[in-house]
Amino acid sequence: MPTLTPTVLSTERLRLRWFTEDDAAANFAVFSDPEVTRYWSRAPWTELEQSAQMIAATMANYADGSGLRFAIERLDGGEMIGNVSLFHFIDDSRRCDIGYALGSRYWGQGYASEALQAAIGYGFRELGLNRVEADVDPANAASRRVLEKLGFREEGYMPERWIVHGEAADTVNYGLLKRYWDARSTS
């Protein structure tokens, strides 16, 4: 697992930074929204304590190097609008998974692509990753478009991989190699 140090990434409109305990309410606002959790394997949050627990787990992941979750803030206004995570690091293979969530009122404005681009670039440059993987419900067309825009390639289909809100849900697997990323960045 990588050694993680507090990091801030900046883009044209966003700042990605480590979570703090002060983010509990804003984080709760994201994950208590049924639209955001539609394709998530858990129900929307109903208590602020659920957010505090996620932040505590995030801080433990920072400490042991098992995961890196960035809070996404808008530069104009400073509000936290979501998060992006690099997690499940496989050191020998230099790969990890990526996950992300954005408050529904910020959808369709390019924030997800902008935040993911910064986090993925950091993973390849600073963490020495060779591969980043994602899995998406095939019905989540917006998330699939974001991944494909960033150069992820569809690599497989797994029927009924998750139980989401009591129903079996399929998964489409995506992968992004550093060489795909590098070729995209230079073209």
Could you give the domains of the chain?
8-186 (3.40.630.30)
Phi, psi for residue 78 in degrees, rounded to 5: 75, 5
Ranking 37-46, 63-72, 83-92, 124-133 by mean pLDDT, the lowest is: 37-46
Q: Which residue has the tokens 């606002």?
A: 29
d(CA 41, CA 34): 12
Strands (E), 3-112: 8-10, 14-18, 67-74, 80-90, 95-102
Does residue 186 carry a pLDDT above 80? Answer: no
pTM for this entry: 0.92
Per the CB < 8 A criterion, the answer to whether 171 and 147 are in contact is no
Ranking 5-9, 146-150, 162-166 by mean pLDDT, the lowest is: 162-166
Cα 140 from chain centroid?
A: 15
Spell out the alpha helix ranges (H) of 66-132.
111-125
**Band of residue 139 on the pLDDT scale cut at 50, 70, 90:** very high
Over range 125-129, report the average pLDDT: 95
Per the CB < 8 A criterion, the answer to whether 62 and 68 are in contact is yes
